Amino acid sequence: MNAKIAVLPGDGIGPEVTAQALMVLEGIAERFGHEFTFSEAHIGGIAIDETGSALPSETINVCQTSDAVLLGAVGGPQWDDPTASVRPEQGLLGIRKHFGLYA
């Protein structure tokens, strides 16, 4: 099996958790003969810091051209301002809305 996977590490513990998940996926690929291609993009607070948007259009593009999305946690104390016009959770809400994912 070949698959393109979008990796959105996010913030806080998100990058640590997604790094471990990638190690698991690489082990699965090696053991069972799969080939995974990973493309990383920003979402949440790191995306706000880098682009001013919690869900940059580049992130949507990476996700649209992938077979799966690995999404880490978003947010953290440095973005916890209830008066901010852009907040990390807007990235989660935006990606759910864009792809019609409601659970």
Query: What average pLDDT is seen over the chain?
Result: 97
Tens digit of each residue's pLDDT (9 = 90 or more) over 37-50 = 999 999 999 999 99
Q: Where are the domains of the chain?
A: 2-99
Q: What is the pLDDT of residue 66?
A: 98
Q: What is the pTM (predicted TM-score) of this model?
A: 0.94
Q: Is the pLDDT of residue 11 over 90?
A: yes
- CA-nearest of 28, 8, 21, 29 to 73 is 8
Q: What is the pLDDT of residue 103?
A: 63
Q: Is the pLDDT of residue 68 over 80?
A: yes
Backbone region of residue 44 per phi and psi (left: phi > 0; alpha: psi in -120 to 50; beta: other values): left
* CATH code, 2-99: 3.40.50
